[in-house]
Homo-oligomer: A and B are copies of this chain.
Amino acid sequence: MDYQRIIDGIAREVQPLFVRGRVADYIPALASVPRDKFGMAVLTVDGELYATGDAGEAFSIQSISQVFTLTLALGYVGEKLWRRVGKEPSGSAFNSLVQLEYEKGIPRNPFINAGAHVVTDALMAARPYAKETLLKFVRELSGNPDIAYDEEVARSEAASGFRNRALANFLKAESNLHGDVDTVLDLYFHQCALAMSCIDLARAIAFLARGGRGGDGARVVSAPQAKRINALMQTSGTYDAAGDMAFRIGIPAKSGVGGGIVGIIPGRLALAAWSPALDKTGNSLAGVRALELFTTRTGFSVF
């Protein structure tokens, strides 16, 4: 299939969406990203790479980082991680305190903010230098040693992160955060501030299309674990729009408020798209549309 022609066509087709929606503006570093940026990258399981537009430009990956911390934490902590965080879709806004209180401090899944805090806390307990461990991990997965935390973004997130601080303190009150709240949040804000390009992301996420193996054939996670992370992305990877995304895109995907979104077609390829303007559910308007067009054009779907 001529992936290059397909994604080039998509890049043209999604342009009208750039002027719609809203760029995340809760911190200056995100608000200043031009809304006409668009990139898309595809990496097949055979290692062929296709890219278009701004696919090489780094952006703030935000919640997409939750896939990497979850993968790492599962490696260190194993299945008992699921005692502290659920696997069910959240059924409400991604930063809701209501559900957390109702469920006594056990977040519904690792892809809502509170769940990500617990995963981060678990990773920190297992790895003293978690911040360095995470950076090393994404650099290796993507083969790009220049990937870094955007310290300005991390600082801004910390300065405005009152709701995350509320969630983390609530988890602490419910005894589901073991480390120091500020230290956990510091790592959380840093992982959100990872700056990566579509190409970086497609490479980094591709182990989920390869049954858990990295580009060099080495195992990142077991095959069942890879399937399970894909399943989680399918049911919970796009905030409160996971059902609609499964409906429209039909593949496991994970998005971030920086406008990035990654998707997996198991056994075939990984893909990543980026466009800063968001719909009201916090997902990239053009990014989601790009994945939808890609699955429609290629006929790929898990269903």
Query: Which A residues contact B (CB, under 8 angstroms)?
Result: 86-92, 96-102, 108-109, 162-163, 165-170, 172-173, 181, 226-228, 230-232, 234-236, 240-244, 246-247, 250, 252, 264, 266, 301-303
User: Chain A: interface secondary structure?
Assistant: helix
Q: Which of B86, B89, B173, B231 contacts A89 (CB 8 A)?
A: B89
Inter-subunit contact B172/A243 (CB<8 Å): no
Closest to A227 in B: B303
Q: Which residues of B contact A181 (CB under 8 A)?
A: 162, 165
Sort A-B residue pairs by CB-CB distance and give the 8 closest, nearest first: A91-B91, A89-B89, A230-B303, A162-B173, A88-B243, A302-B302, A166-B169, A231-B246
Inter-subunit contact A303/B166 (CB<8 Å): no
Inter-subunit contact A97/B99 (CB<8 Å): no
For the complex formed by this chain, how many copies does it contain in all?
A: 4
Q: Which of B90, B108, B167, B246 contacts A234 (CB 8 A)?
A: B246
Q: Which residues of B contact A108 (CB under 8 A)?
A: 91, 243
Q: How far is the CA of A91 from the CA of B264 in the complex (A)?
A: 24
Closest to A172 in B: B162
Q: Using A98-B98, A163-B169 as known contacts, say yes or no to A89 and B230 having CB atoms under 8 A apart.
A: no
